[in-house]
Chain A
Amino acid sequence: MKTIDQTTDEILDLAATHFKFPRAELTPSDDFYKKLAIDSLQALELLTRLENHFGVELPDYEVQGVSDFHTLATRIQARL
């Protein structure tokens, strides 16, 4: 079973790769909408990539209002 830190790291890795952002500049407390400058469609893309990567189903309303990577990780962790 992954730890929350492992899950958070994987999310940061995935976000950096997909949105072509320097991994070293992403931190768990970052607001990913502002940091990655993503819109609602890209947010859905990110959700899909996370679901596919972790093999989980994450209802959109569970991430509504979530804007930092760490909180996102806790939502995913709860589904692992």
Chain B
Amino acid sequence: MDTSSAAKGVRIFLERIHGVLNRLDTSSLTTIAAVHGVCFGGGFELALVCDLIVADKMARFCFPELRLGLIPGFGGIPRLKRDIGNGVVRDLLLTGRSINATKGLSVGLVSQVAAEGEALRAARSTAMQTTKFDSGTSAAAKRFIKPLPADELRCEIDIFCDLFMRPAVMEGLRKFVENTGAHPYLP
């Protein structure tokens, strides 16, 4: 496949993913991510689409994409910026380190930390609470407080596509595939 076709294919793929995630992000329903274990990369980006994140104490969050010569491409950076301080976003992106749920709670990423294995129960309890309000009112509040960062999301796709064509990506992918270490997500 030539470079031009590959670039076009990547863009089409990203736009499809963004389309799905943007619809979830702007749903009139209140959405809650129940997270346990490793929530890295695309999984983290899916959680960030939701209105609330309830994590059990064994959850970990990470954007490891830079080790592949890429940035998160499914809307992770604009959505993370929407939720937490820019300094923490820079820390996660530029170091590629993972943080646990307790740290996530302290920086405002996670709404609640549940005991191990209890995230789904806690999320359902929270969901039940949100159903007590008029749905139209909740939807209006959500539209007001959680605007879709549309311009930044489009910009993220452009940056991802530019980076994808660089040799560093193939080198990063090769290293990841060949890595037999205990931390393959770290450079």
Instruction: Name A residues whose Cβ lies closer than 8 Å to a Cβ of B.
Output: 33, 38-41, 43-45, 47-49, 51-52, 57, 59-61, 63-64, 67
Contact = CB atoms under 8 A, between A and B. Distances in A.
Contact of A59 (B38, B95, B181): B95
Place the interface of chain B in its size category: 20 to 34
A4 B58 CA distance: 25
A61 B58 contact: no
Contacts of B59: 48
A61 B95 contact: yes
A55 B37 CA distance: 18
B97 A60 contact: yes
10 contacts: A39-B182, A44-B38, A47-B60, A51-B100, A57-B99, A57-B103, A60-B186, A61-B95, A64-B183, A64-B186
Contact of A45 (B58, B95, B186): B58
Nearest to B102: A52
Interface string B116-157: 000000000000000000000000000000000000000000
Greatest chain B CB density within 10 A among A43, A44, A45 is at A44
A41 B38 contact: yes
B98 interface: yes
B9 interface: no
Contact of A48 (B96, B100, B181, B185): B100
B114 to A, nearest CB: 13
Given A48-B60, A61-B95, A40 B184 contact: yes
B57 interface: yes
Contacts of B58: 45, 48-49
Given A40-B182, A43-B183, A52-B102, 13 more contacts: A33-B182, A40-B185, A41-B38, A44-B38, A44-B60, A44-B98, A48-B57, A48-B59, A51-B102, A59-B97, A60-B185, A64-B181, A64-B182
A49 B59 CA distance: 10
Interface in B161-187: 181-186
B56 to A, nearest CB: 10
Contacts of A45: 37, 58
B97 A52 contact: no
A39 B38 CA distance: 13
Interface in B23-64: 37-38, 57-60
